[in-house]
Chain A
Amino acid sequence: MTAVVEAEGLTKFYGRRKGLEDLTLQIQPGEVFGYLGPNGAGKTTTIRLLLDVIRPTSGRATVLGADTRDTAVRARIGYLPGELALEGRDRAHDFLNFMADVRGGVSRGRIDELAERLDADLSIRMGQLSKGNKQKVGLIQAFMHEPELLILDEPTSGLDPLVQQEFLTMVREVRTAGRTVLMSSHVLAEVQNVADRVGIVRGGRLVAVEDVAALRERAVRHVEFHFDAPVPTEAFEGLPGVRDVVVTGASLRCTIDGRPDALIKAAAKFTVVHMVSSEPDLEEIFLTYYSEEAPRARVGA
């Protein structure tokens, strides 16, 4: 299987300032890859290198099997810039028609269909679009030609929650169709529900690539049980993966790492009347990558 995106030792220095160093990464067809890191970590640098807007200092990258310098391949990529600038007196639909003309492959009615889904007003002049509408126009142009690879730089910024949900649905559809998505974000929450894998960049280096399902399994989860009668603390102490056990009368609060199996079996000995389990907090794992230098050995997929 040929990788859709393949980078080998990709490095970019802006003069003496490091943008990205020694990035080696493969993104497979049909995968949604979340590219995470704080602002200025090198996410946009990577994306601009893949699109040949900037040139690598060293290393190489291929996109859809072609060198990034290959112009023709760009018709098969949909791109949403992180700092999307749309100016001028053209109306949004004129601009989209122009983009569609140059790229080709946009079916009739596709633009209107996407505009309706995202609730975008395309009759507004480009220079007068609001932040949210601008982002919608950006998304439409990225999705409209049903590209084999979507590269989305901070796609959800400026979108209201309802539109964000619609956007995530669109990303899932793209994956279902077997096409590939690379999307960057500085918050995990934005990508954890759609991404198959996440790569974490910090200070210009890729510090980890993780499978989201595995990450979820390792994640910390806060759990609460309420029983019909008071329970002994000892029944829940020393269970594998269970921490911070606090029993107050008939209720139990604790934290679990990974699988909840042992805790559920222990709780099953009593009569459970109510149970609360928070969403696994991947952010906690994720923040450890941000705050400390993760070992290089974790890199690789």
Chain B
Amino acid sequence: MPALVHKTLRDYRRSVIGWLIGISAFLSLYLSIYPSIRNNPEFYQQAALSKYPGPLKDLMGGLADIASGTGYLQTVVYQLLVPLLLIMFAMTLGTRAIAVPEEEGTLELTMTLPIDRRRLVLERWAAFALSLLAVALVTMVLVLALAAVGGLKVPAGNIVAAHAGLFLIALFFGTLALGLGAATGKRALALAVGGGYAVGGYVIETLGKSVDAISWLRWVSPFHYYLDGRPVFQGWPVGDYLVLLGATAVLAMTAMLAFERRDVGV
């Protein structure tokens, strides 16, 4: 493994462990209460629908079938909160690739190593992607285990497919934050623009289903390619995932080229 990837992974280690514990705690808490919902499906379905009226319900992904194992898993894990957490984690790491060390001033010495700039971005990106992959894999195993124990009756293949999507959407936004940081050197800007796009993209995708005025915008929302294929219900939406992956690759290459051109640390 290249020395810079190794060193960057070491730098990210604490952050990875922290987020892993947080997301795992969230998953354990929510998935362990499923048995009580399964035993009282009508009550919880009604409670959920009355708690989130109209558009709020859309924002929560429709809440249909929440008392079934599949519906519950989609709503609680894959719809909003876990993607949100994982995207926050990814964007935090993404800005730590270039923007944060540039603002701290530690990037200057790294730049004077015999590593060319594109490679520097690429190796930082690789360390970010590996860290994210580690969190995704561990949480996936946890979901598989908790789903089995809690009797959610969701095919394991669908959970793997949904979790792959989770990884890809977080990889996309993390790469976006990394790229914005590489292009501008500004952490706050990278988080604001990336975060804005994430929130906006989510709202457009979920509300766009019932609001015709914005439904045409859904195709520019990364969440469209994450949610629309409903992998928890239907398995791998290969085409959609390839779009996310392709967009991520374009962002990573743009980040390399943008960093190649500019003055650093001024």
Contact = CB atoms under 8 A, between A and B. Distances in A.
A88 B112 CA distance: 19
B5 to A, nearest CB: 11
Query: Chain A: interface residue count, which band?
Result: 20 to 34
B266 interface: yes
B104 A55 contact: no
B14 to A, nearest CB: 7
A101 B3 CA distance: 7
Nearest to B103: A85
Interface in A21-54: 48, 51-54
A210 interface: no
A71 B108 contact: no
B105 A88 contact: no
Interface in B1-56: 3-4, 6-7, 10-11, 14
B239 interface: no
A98 B111 contact: no
Contacts of B109: 79, 81, 84, 99, 141
Interface in A49-96: 51-55, 71-75, 77, 79, 81, 83-90, 94
Contacts of A51: 111-112
Interface centre among B4, B11, B262, B266 (most CB of A within 10 A): B266
Given A54-B263, A85-B108, A103-B113, A98 B14 contact: no
B189 to A, nearest CB: 18
B115 interface: yes
A72 B105 contact: no
Contacts of B101: 87
Nearest to A71: B116
B234 interface: no
Contacts of B263: 14, 53-55
Interface of A: 14, 48, 51-55, 71-75, 77, 79, 81, 83-90, 94, 98-99, 101-103, 141
Interface of B: 3-4, 6-7, 10-11, 14, 101, 104-106, 108-109, 111-116, 262-266
